[in-house]
Chains A and B, each alone.
Chain A
Amino acid sequence: MFGKSRSVAVALAATTALVLSACGGDDGGGGDADSDEPINIGIIADLTGATGDVGTPYNQGMLAYIDWRNGDGGIEGREIAAESNDYAYEVPQAESLYKQYVNDGVVAIQGWGTGDTEALSGSVAKDELPFMSGSFAEPLTDPEEAPYNFVVAPTYSDQMRVALNWINEDSGGSGEVAVFHNDSPFGLAPVQDGEDWVAEKGYDLGYAAYPMPGGSANYVGLLSQAQSQGAKYIVIQNVASPAALVAKDIAAQGLDMKIVCLNWCANELFIDSAGAEAAEGHILIQPFAPLTAEKPGHEPITEYLEAEGTDPETIGTSYVQGWYAMHAMAEGMEATLVEGNDLSGASIKEALETMGPIDTGEVIGGGSLEFSADSHRGTSSTGVYQAQDGKMVELEASATP
C-alpha cells in the first residue's frame, strides 16, 4: 500500500500535469444596405493570457477606434456594436467564442493569435466571415488557403526578410544570425521563411533558430549557444517581456550582440522593461508607426485620447495596431454599404478585395493597405526603428523585402 505522502505525491504530479496541459447565424448584424441597425462584430482578445501584455492595449485600440468611429457618425450612419471577450490565449476558448459570435449573427470577426487564427481559418471560410487578427502569419495571406482571412500588416515572414536584409547590410555581407522564438505557432511562423530567404538571396549569413523556454528568469543559456554559433545578431519573434530579458542579459554579459525585434517585441514595452540603457541600439521591425513618429494617421488617435483625458505619451504601439486593424475592417464595411450592397461577410470580403488602397495616414509601412482576390497580404512594407535614449527612433519608414 502507498503511504499518505506517496499518494499525495502521485496526486500532486497528476494535478500538476493537468494544470500544465490546461496552462452559421442569422444576418442580424449586417442586413440590407439601407438598414440602420448596428453592425455586429465579434472580438476575440487576449487580455489575461501569455500575450496579454500586448493583447490588452491592442484590444483597447480596437474598442477606442469603434468608440471614435461611432462618435463620428458610425459607418454610413450605422453604429458598430462590438462584443469583445477574453480567450486567454487558449485555442479551445477562441473556438468557443467564435461559435458564440456566429450564433450572435456577427458579420465579421477580429481575432488575435496565430494558433487560434489558423485553427479558425477553415470555419470562417465556411461561415463566410471576414477575419482579421493580430497574427501576421504568411499562410493567412493566401485566399486559396484562407479565403476569409485578411492580414493588415507585413507578415512575420516579410518582417523577417526585412530584418535579414538589414542585418546583411549592417554586417557588411557576412555574419551569423540567431533566431530566438516563442515555442508556438506564432513564434515558429517566420523561422523557415527566414532560412529560405537567406538561401534565396545568397546572403553569406549563418542562421540558426532557438526556442525560448517559457517563464525563464534568464536567457544566458541560449545566448551562450548563440555565442558558440558566432552570432552577432539575435532576431526575436516573441513578446516584449522575454525580449527585454534577453537585452538585459546581453548588457549584463557585455556581449557584442544586436537584437532585431519583430513586431510584438518591437515596441515601447521592450524599451521600458529592458531599461533605456540595456535597450540602447537594438533594432525594432515595427510595421505600425508609434505615436511618437507623428504621422498624419495618428491625428485621430491623439485627438480621441486627449478628448478622453488620456495622455498620448502613455499609449504604446500595440494600441495603434488595434486601432488600424479595426480601421481596415470598418473601411471594408463602409465600401460595401457605399456600393449599395447588403452587409454580409461575403460582400465585405468582396469590397476589401476590390476597393483599392485603404489609407492609414502613413501609420502602416508605406501608408496604405490593399487587398485583392489573389492576395490578402495588405502590405509588405514596414518601419524600421532603433532604440535610442529610451525612445523608438525611425531609421526607415517603409522598408520592403
Chain B
Amino acid sequence: MSNFIQQLIYGLADGSILALAALGFVLIYKATGVINFAQGEFLLVGAYMFYTAFVVFNLPLLLAVVFGVVVATVIGVLVERLILRPMVGENPISIIMVTIGLSMLLNALVQAFYGTSPKSQPALLPRSSIEVLGATVPLNRIFAVVIAAIVLTAFTIFFRKSRHGIAMRAVADDQQAAMTMGISVRRIFAMAWALAAISALIAGVLLGDISAVDQNVAAFGLLVFPVVILGGLDSVPGTIVGGLTVGLLTQFTAGYLDGGLATVIPYIALVLILLVRPYGIFGEIRIERV
C-alpha cells in the first residue's frame, strides 16, 4: 500500500508539471491553430533563464522569478512576431516544420550559451520528506502539485473572468467574429505565445528544481504530445486530466512493470486514444458538412 501511495504522489507531481507544460501547447493551438513542437524547448529555456537570474546573476528568488517571466514573455512575443506571423495562411505541415526548426534552434542556443553539463542550483522547494499513509514523500513533490494547481486555477479564472481571457476565447472560437467586435487578433496571438512561454517557464523551473537543470528538461517536455492527444488539443481541463493520466501511467509502469516500457507507454496510449477518441477526451468535435 505504501509503495502504491508513493508511486501515486510521484506520478501526480510529474503529471502536474506535464499539465503546466501542455497548457502552453493548448493555449497556442486554441488561439492560433499552431501546433508547437518547440514546447519542450520552452521548458528548457525557462529553466535556464531562471538559473541565469538566480545563480549567475545571484538575484533574490522573487526577482529571479520576475526576470524569468519577463524573458519568457519577450521570447514568446518574438517567436510569434518573427517566426510564426510570416507563416499565417501556410498549410499546417509547413508550420509544424517551422516549430520543429524552432525547437532545434532553441536547443542549440541553450547549448551554445550554457554547454551540456548539468547545472547546480540551490534547492527552491524543501527537500525534506514526510510520511503519507506509510509512504515517504519529499515535500518538493507535494509543493510541485500545489504550485501547478494554483497556476492552472489562475489560468482558468483568467480565461473565464478577465477581458483578455474572454478575448482569447473569442479569437479561438471565431477569428472573423472576434475582429468585427474590435478584438486585435495579432495582440491575442502574441499574448497566447507569451502565456505559453510563462507556463512553460514555471514547469521548467519546477522540473529543474526536482531533477536537474539540463537537457533532459526538453526530453521530459516531449511528453506534452500524448498529454494533449489524450486531453484534447484545444481543452484546458484536458491538459490537467491528460497530464495527470500520463504522469501516473508512466510512474506506475516504471514502478510495477518495466523501465523501458515506461518510456514508450505514453505513446502507446497516444495511439490508442487516436484510434478510439481522435479529438481527445475533452477535445472539441467539429463536424463539417460537405
Contacts and interface: CB of A to CB of B under 8 A. Distances in A.
Interface of A: 1-13, 15-17, 19-20, 23, 47-48, 50, 52-53, 55-57, 180, 183, 210-222, 224-225, 227, 240-242, 244-245, 248, 251-254, 269, 272-273, 275
B118 A273 contact: yes
Interface stretch (B76-84, B184-192, B252-260): B252-260
B233 A12 contact: yes
Nearest to A51: B116
The secondary-structure label for the interface of chain B is: helix
Contacts of A3: 279, 285-288
Contacts of B10: 218, 220-221
A5 B279 contact: yes
Contacts of A9: 229, 233, 274, 278-280, 283
Given A52-B111, A218-B10, A213 B262 contact: yes
Contacts of B13: 217
A314 to B, nearest CB: 10
B117 interface: yes
Interface residues of B, number: 67
Contacts of B178: none
B260 A224 contact: no
Interface string B258-276: 1110110001001100100
B52 interface: no
A254 B131 CA distance: 11
A180 B225 CA distance: 27
B3 interface: yes
Contacts of A13: 225, 229, 270-271, 274
Interface in B189-229: 207, 210-212, 214-216, 219-220, 222-223, 225, 228-229
B21 to A, nearest CB: 11
Contacts of A47: 111, 116
Contact of A217 (B136, B220, B253): B220
Contacts, number: 183
Given A8-B35, A254-B136, A221 B260 contact: no
Contact of B7 (A20, A221, A251): A221
Given A50-B215, A53-B116, A227-B3, 17 more contacts: A3-B279, A4-B286, A4-B288, A9-B229, A13-B271, A16-B225, A16-B270, A52-B116, A213-B254, A213-B263, A215-B219, A217-B211, A221-B251, A221-B254, A222-B259, A251-B127, A253-B129
Q: Which of B118, B136, B228, B285 has most A Cβ within 10 Å?
A: B118
8 contacts: A5-B278, A12-B233, A15-B35, A213-B262, A220-B255, A221-B262, A225-B255, A253-B136
B99 to A, nearest CB: 9
Nearest to A209: B259
A310 B111 CA distance: 20
